Amino acid sequence: TCLTYYLVIQAVVLVLLAAHILRSHPFSPPTFGGLPALILFSLPLVAVALQFAVVEFADRFLIAYYLGLEATGSYTTGYQVASGLQVFMTPFTFLLPAIISEKWDRGQRAVVGRILTDSAAVFVAAAVPVILLFGAYGHPLLRLLSNTAIADRAGTVLLVVSGSYLLYGVFVIAAL
């Protein structure tokens, strides 16, 4: 019965919020007049996304070709777990460019430097404990996600790739 009350309350809140939003911001169909300019603006991002896809495919292909499928499984498992560190990078790569551009255009160069330094420090403060947890509990985690043979070999990959993501995150923030 508590679950039913909870769901009813959530549904009522959802309906009230939706009604308020639709009243204050009426729906209008999208216009596609600026679409060609937006597509041209996004083309470099498409190239970057394709580059990342090729790199991810190429490393697994080369590992499978030279070391076999078990090594590929170990690498992929460790790599995918370590790539969870991207969760900490995403807010910085998504929000900082707009903030940095605004401050730079206003001539607030010292503020930009402080924002970048603080952002890198926050990223490191969030990522290092996760990497330490990977070091302490990585093997049991990998055993949950794969078999024992793969987990035994993936632990090193997990730590190396985690360290690489740490360096990559700091580099990305500094490059903004």
Number of other residues whose CB lies within 10 A of the CB of residue 97: 11
Residue 75, exposed/middle/buried by CB under 10 A (0-12, 13-18, 19+)?
Answer: buried
Answer yes or no: are the C-beta atoms of 120 and 174 closer than 8 Å. Answer: yes
pLDDT in tens, the chain (176 residues): 778 888 899 999 999 999 988 888 888 887 888 889 888 888 888 888 888 888 878 989 999 999 999 899 999 999 999 999 999 998 888 889 889 989 999 999 999 999 999 999 999 999 999 999 999 999 999 999 888 889 989 999 999 999 999 999 999 898 88
Element housing 17 (H / E): helix 2-24
